[in-house]
Every structure is written in C-alpha cells, then in structure tokens.
Amino acid sequence: MTDKDVMFAVRSGDIDQTGILFERHNIRLFNFFYRLTSDRQTSEDLVQEVFLRLIRFRETYKGNGSFTTWLYTIAHNIYIDNWRKPYIQKEYDCSQEECAVANTVDEMVECNEKSELLERALMKLTNEEREILILSTYQKMKYREIAKIMDCSTGRIKQRAFRAIKKLKAIYLQLTNEAQR
C-alpha cells in the first residue's frame, strides 16, 4: 500500500494504520527536527506531535499532491510552534552516519570537527533559512514541495535557498578561521 492508501485508511477511521506511516517516516522526521533543534528529546517529542496531529486532523487529508508534502507541512507547523517556545540547545553529537567514512582516528576527529562547525554554522542561520536547507539537502525535497510546505512560490524558495547557502558558507568559513587560530 502506498502512503496515500494508508492515509485514506486512517482517514476512514482505521487509526491502527498510523503505525505503518510512523514506521515509514519517523526516522526522517526525527532527522529533520534534530537538524533544526540539535536536541534529541525535543526532536522525539516533535515527531510524536506530528503523528498526533496526523490522527487529529486526518479528515483534512484530501490526497492532492504528495503525502510527504502534507506530512512535512504538519512538521513545519509544529516546528514553527515549537521555536516560538524557548529551548535549550544541547551539545552537538556527531552521528555514525556522518563519520562512517573515517578510516583513522585522525580522520574521525577531523570529521567531528567539521560536523560541529557545520552544525554551529547552521544554528546561526535564521529558522527559515535552516529549515529550507534541511528540507532540500537532508530530506531531499524538491523546491516546489518546500514551497507548498512554506506556502510561498517555488521561485521564492530557490532565492531563499541560494541566499541561505551563501550565508552558511560565509559563517562556516568564519568559524573555520576562528578555530584555526
């Protein structure tokens, strides 16, 4: 069954089918939130909130467009609601996925340092800039899907992504220079 088929079953009242959607999407949603917040507990809580809202607002699902776009629209709204609340940023923890290619301890240390600098640079972007880059880069979403999620034009998302990448590069280079001193 496709995600749309499963969601139509949930919409019709078969709430148990939500587990299938959870299994298919919870890790990507967690990674999305974790890259935005750098907080594991907050990310887990936000993923749970996505599926609670999915159930609560199941009647609003029309099946127009991609299910993933609809799901990430919910995630986007939850994130917006969450960042309005203050949260404590946790220390960055380099994941095995990011450093799996490291063959030596020196390479692992270098990978951790680069990952930490990139994470720090990402956190210096605005919430909107960070979200656009995470959706496009890590979640592999197309600009038109991000535009639907953020309720604006594709051209505007492309422009914001370009500016965010340029800004991220400048911040990263600044942090790299500071670290080398």
DSSP symbols for 87-123:
-PPPPP---HHHHTT--SHHHHHHHHHHHHHHHHHHH
- Torsion sign (Cα): 48, 51, 55, 59: positive
Q: Dig out the tokens for 49 from the structure.
A: 């909130």
- Report the percent of the chain where pLDDT is more than 70: 83
* pLDDT tens per residue, range 65-89: 899 999 999 999 898 877 655 433 3
Nearest C-alpha neighbor of 60 from the set 18, 14, 7, 21: 7
pLDDT at 156 over 50: yes
Q: What is the pTM of this model?
A: 0.60
Percent of the chain with pLDDT over 90: 48
Q: Which domains, ranges and CATH numbers included, belong to the chain?
A: 3-83 (1.10.1740.10), 96-180 (1.10.10.10)
| pLDDT of the residue at 17 | 93
Distant-in-sequence contacts of 28-34, Cβ < 8 A, 24+ apart: 28/139, 29/71, 29/75, 31/138, 31/139, 32/72, 32/75, 32/134, 32/135, 32/138, 32/139, 33/75, 33/79
The pLDDT assigned to 37 comes to 85
Position 116 confidence tier, pLDDT thresholds 50, 70, 90: confident
